Amino acid sequence: MDNLPNWDLKGKYTLLKRLGKGSYGSVCLAQSNSTGAMVAIKSVKGIFEDIYDAKRILREICILRILNHPHIVKIIEVIVTERSFRTIYIVMESAQSDLKKIVKSPTYLDFEQVRYMFYQAVCGIRYMHSASILHRDLKPANILINEDCTIKICDFGLSRSYRRIDQFDQYNSEDINNFALSGGIQCRSLPRDKLNRDMNFINKRELTVHVVTRWYRAPEVILLEKEYNKEIDIWSLGCVFAEMLSLVKANAAHYIERGPLFPGMSCFPLSPDTSTSIKRAGYPCAENDQLNVIFEVIGTPSQQELSFITDPKAHEYVNSFPPRQPKSFQEYFPGCGPDELDILKKMLVFSPKHRISLNELIMHPYFNSVRDPAKEIVANVRADFIFDSTQEMTVEQLQDIFSREIVNEVPLG
């Protein structure tokens, strides 16, 4: 009980331990005093001090409110202790662990357990997409797991409706600072006209301080395509599936061998490794650049696969990599059978146009033994939030929407 925060939860919950801390506050494991159920509670402070932050929290609550699937975490209630909403507490379902922690532990699973977990994730994301929501931050830490191998997808802080995507809000402050300090990839050494072209290349608007972990970023996100869709989640899910497969001893003899399939350390163009002397199309490109790491596994894309790239500079950069043939996923997962390898091959495709869809994926023979119609439901509501329809909103307008959308719709303490 040491070091637990002093939260005003109106006597409803007893805090047990901290689960994490972020820029918006802390998350704690707690127990309901009335039912004994375990929950996760997120404290959010200063929600209306910044309009973007207010929209982000409001959006996450609204998304959690409309999604109703057994493998997506549910919001239980929102506790508001002041009418100014200075601090709110979001109470959600909890789980015993998450995939990131399991991957880093000595725990091993068998192929059937992995199949069951992955099927649940596919069903949850397919349902989410049917509600017009992109997750945009799928990674092992956002896949909650219980000891019976049931999973729940969590953390919708970067999620958006298909129709309400602000393209450049998925990068972190380090990415943005690196870009700014380098003046758009090394401003000190580049002519002003080239600097201007680089700034146009990313079409820089209001970049925010949030991150999609680079190891799970789809190529179209890395290359800052203005238009992307649910295929970005399919790529990320393929990366997550690879880490699930590493939990089988036949694929990783020792748990220390586990890790992301694409562990890049830098990422063109926002956070390149400017210390490297290697240049591609005039830009720094270290051996551990995210795209280079991806090409090491899946090979360099064909000209047909490059057809989705709309920016000439991005096209030139990708074309500057020497041709490489794809490696067999069997090299990375020697214990896998043809079904698992086929799924990886079809999900981790450079061009979003050629990736397998979730409707196709769920019909794959790999899932025949675990399919359940109750999990393959689709949403009957499509997300399209009023507060995302206008760029300019006042704090007072957002507070009014919060009162109407949240206070009136979600049980309050």
Q: Which residues are catalytic?
A: 137
Cα 302 from chain centre: 27
* Residue 124 amino acid letter: G
Helix axes 111-130, 231-245, angle to 10 degrees: 170
Let me know if 85 is exposed, middle or buried by CB neighbors in 10 A (0-12, 13-18, 19+): buried
Let me know if 38 is exposed, middle or buried by CB neighbors in 10 A (0-12, 13-18, 19+): middle
Both tokens assigned to 307: 């057809």
Handedness of CA 31, 103, 221, 72 (dihedral sign): negative
Q: How far apart are CA 348 and CA 298, in angstroms?
A: 8
- Residues 145, 146, 152: CA angle, nearest 5 degrees: 45
The DSSP secondary-structure symbol of 386 reads G
Both tokens assigned to 413: 């303490």
Asked whether residue 42 is marked as a ligand-binding residue, the answer is: yes
Which H helix or E strand runs over 22?
strand 13-22
Q: How far apart are CA 194 and CA 191, in angstroms?
A: 5
Neighbours of 148 (CB within 10 A): 9
75 has which bridge partners?
Answer: 92
Q: Per the annotation, where are the binding residues for ATP?
A: 42
